[in-house]
Amino acid sequence: MSALSFQLLTSADQPLRRGLLAVAGKPSIATPNCLLSTVRGAVPHLTPDMLARTGVHALQISLDHFADRKPSALELFPGGIGKFLNVEDYMVVCDLMETAGKEPDMSCSEKYMNLRTLAGHRKVSAKEYAEMARACDPDVCVAPCDPIWAAEAAPTQSRAHKASRRTVKFLDIFLQEMHGKPVLAVLQGSHYVNERVQSATESSKRAVDGYALHLRGLERPASVADDAETPDLLTLLRSSTDHTPATRPRFAYGVSSIVQVLEAVRAGVDMFDSAFVNWATEQGHALHLCIGSEVDGPATYDVIDLWSSDRRREFQPFVSGCECFACARHTRAYCYHLLQTHEMLAHVLLMCHNSYQYSRFFAQLRGHIEAGTFDGAYTAFVAAYENWKATAPKATTSPRPAVPTFGTMVPTAERTAQ
Ligand SMILES: [Zn+2]
């Protein structure tokens, strides 16, 4: 029997849903909710005690970050990945893909996934990935896939079809090798509704515990004009979720904006990674996310650029009323000073604040779904977001660090790991 359970708290025919995701011995997670993305097993900038203050109880860990050695230290450690990384109180979701970067960190052939590791490229079959996953023993593992989510040009339907076919083939091998451990099937199809339906239908025939969808691949590609008749995000997501059982959880990967989260919640997605939050933090941005309520105030979307010299004399919290560790103790002016002097504490405070805001936003979402007021709140928040886009100041010319995704750590002179 699977160790992962999902209890749907709303009617199965209702697209807006709340649920309870649970793993034995760990805190249950009310959905919709988020999991924090990690780099080599750690949430960037956060120590365990700071991580505990974010209010998040699930982590996304990419096993390819440890694939530079074979077997990796993770596989050799007898207590499992949770104990190895000192995150035993968190639900650990493992996968084989980097979602925080702008480009996929692996390519694919009929038999292998070509991973980019610290020591160079490494070919891994679905069977080898299952061996890694079994040794690491996470709470949930995302099945292997043929990634196409960040292609420069729009993927053709032929490419999308091939990716779906390979993904189902990998899934079958993976399920056979995982011996009943909880597995999420990856739903493919890119921008093609019929391909998405087919991928979801095929995956639903398998005994999986849930599903994973890539949001990043659904952004309109640069090569497609704005007026092209590309289905909108909600239509694409529903073409997947409508063809999977409502009783199983759905995870979204590669979240690049908060509006994507809202659209995916409308399509019935339950869990979201934090790629968007990690990027905001690395850019020196403090997020203000409020979907709006009598308690929390009006719908608000704001991005406070702490590199801007406007912050020099702002002796106030990042966001007034925010109850995070950073806002309770420090000011925008202090964080501006920390960024200018390249102090690591700047990003610690920003990550603490942004993760808390993200987690809090999901709590507000759940409240609106429970109260039946989601639609009004959605409209108000999207209006606030569009208003911010129209009026937000242009980026400053202040120096900023390069965003340290895992891929940037790959040495220039790559060598083959095996
Ligand atoms: Zn805060």
Query: What phi and psi, each to the nearest 5 degrees, are found at residue 207?
Result: -85, 75
Using the mean position of ligand 1's atoms as its centre, give its distance from the Cα of residue 112 in Å.
43
Is the per-residue pLDDT at 222 higher than 60? Answer: no
Higher pLDDT, 207 or 150: 207
Q: Which two tokens stand for residue 322?
A: 């925010």
Lowest mean pLDDT among 117-126, 331-340, 402-411: 402-411
Calpha distance 144→172 (Å, rounded): 10
pLDDT at residue 403 greater than cutoff 70: no
| Mean pLDDT along residues 356-383 | 96
Number of C-beta neighbours around residue 53 at 10 A:
16
Q: Give distance in angstroms: CA of 325 to centre of ligand 1.
A: 7
Q: Please give the C-alpha separations between residue 302 and each of 141, 165, 280, 382, in angstroms, as whole numbers.
A: 34, 41, 12, 12
Find the length of the chain. Answer: 418
Cα 159 to middle of ligand 1, angstroms: 43
Look at residue 415 and tell me whether its pLDDT is greater than 50: no
Please state the rounded mean pLDDT for residues 371-393.
92
Q: Does 416 have pLDDT greater than 50?
A: no
Lowest-confidence segment of 8-12, 71-75, 126-130, 249-253 by average pLDDT: 71-75
> Exposed, middle or buried, 123 (CB in 10 Å: 0-12/13-18/19+)?
middle
Report the share of the chain in percent with pLDDT over 70: 87
Residues 6+ apart with CB under 8 A from 404: 39, 44, 282
State mean pLDDT over 174-182: 93
Least confident of 203-207, 371-375, 389-393: 389-393
Q: Residue 202: what residue type?
A: E
Where are the alpha helices (H) located in 250-293, listed in sequence order?
258-266, 275-282
DSSP 75-111: HH-TT-HHHHTT-TTSEEEEES---SSSS-SEEE-SS
Q: How far is the CA of 300 from the centre of ligand 1 (A)?
A: 14
Task: Give distance in angstroms: CA of 331 to centre of ligand 1.
Answer: 10
Say what the pLDDT of residue 392 is. Answer: 80
> How far apart are the C-alpha atoms of 323 and 131, rounded to whole Å?
43
- Residue 114 is predicted with a pLDDT of 83
Q: What is the pLDDT of residue 217?
A: 67
Closest CA to 406 of 54, 152, 117, 208: 117
The pLDDT assigned to 331 comes to: 97
Q: Report residues near ion ligand 1: CB below 5 Å.
A: 322, 324, 327, 353
Under 8 Å between Cβ of 16 and 265: yes
Least confident interval from 121-125, 356-360, 364-368, 390-394: 390-394
Asked whether the beta carbons of 236 and 213 are under 8 A apart, the reply is: no
pLDDT tens for 344-354 read 999 999 999 99
Structure tokens at 125: 């079959």
Residue 328 confidence (pLDDT)? 96
Residue 324, annotated as binding a ligand: yes
pLDDT band at 406 (very low <50, low <70, confident <90, very high): very low
Between CA 135 and CA 272 the distance in angstroms is 25
Q: Is 322 labelled as part of a ligand binding site?
A: yes
Q: Find the 312 Cα to ligand 1 centroid distance in Å.
A: 18
Residue 408: the pLDDT is 42
Rounded to the nearest 5°, which phi and psi values hold at 174? -60, -45
With bands split at pLDDT 50, 70 and 90, how would you rate the model's confidence at 115? confident
Largest CA distance in the chain: 60
Q: Is 192's pLDDT higher than 50?
A: yes
> Is residue 353 a known part of a binding site?
yes
- Under the banding of pLDDT at 50, 70 and 90, the label for residue 310 is very high
Confidence category of residue 69, pLDDT binned at 50, 70, 90: confident
How many angstroms separate the alpha carbon of residue 357 from the centre of ligand 1?
A: 7
Domain ranges of the chain: 4-281, 284-391
pLDDT band at 404 (very low <50, low <70, confident <90, very high): very low
pLDDT bracket for residue 401 (50, 70, 90): low
Contact yes or no for 179/133 (Cβ under 8 A): no
Contact, 308 vs 398, CB < 8 A?
A: yes
List for the chain the helix, strand, coil content (%; round to 5): 40, 20, 45
List the beta strands (DSSP E) in 219-299: 250-253, 271-272, 285-290
Res. 31 pLDDT band, cuts 50 70 90: very high
Give the pLDDT of residue 6.
96
What is the CA(346)–ligand 1 centre distance, in A?
Answer: 13
Amino acid at 158: S
Per-residue pLDDT, 166: 94
Mean pLDDT of the chain: 87
Q: b/e for 179-206, b at 16 or more Cβ within 10 A?
A: eebbbbbbbbbbbbeebbbbbbebbeee
CA distance 359 to 328: 17
Nearest alpha carbon to residue 348 among 334, 367, 362, 366:
334
Task: State the CB neighbour count (10 A cutoff) for residue 314.
Answer: 17
The pLDDT of residue 397 is above 90 = no
Residue type (1 letter), 385: Y
Query: Is the confidence at residue 414, as pLDDT, over 50?
Result: no
* CA–CA separation, 292 and 378 (whole Å): 9
Superfamily (CATH H level) for 4-281 = Queuine tRNA-ribosyltransferase-like (3.20.20.105)
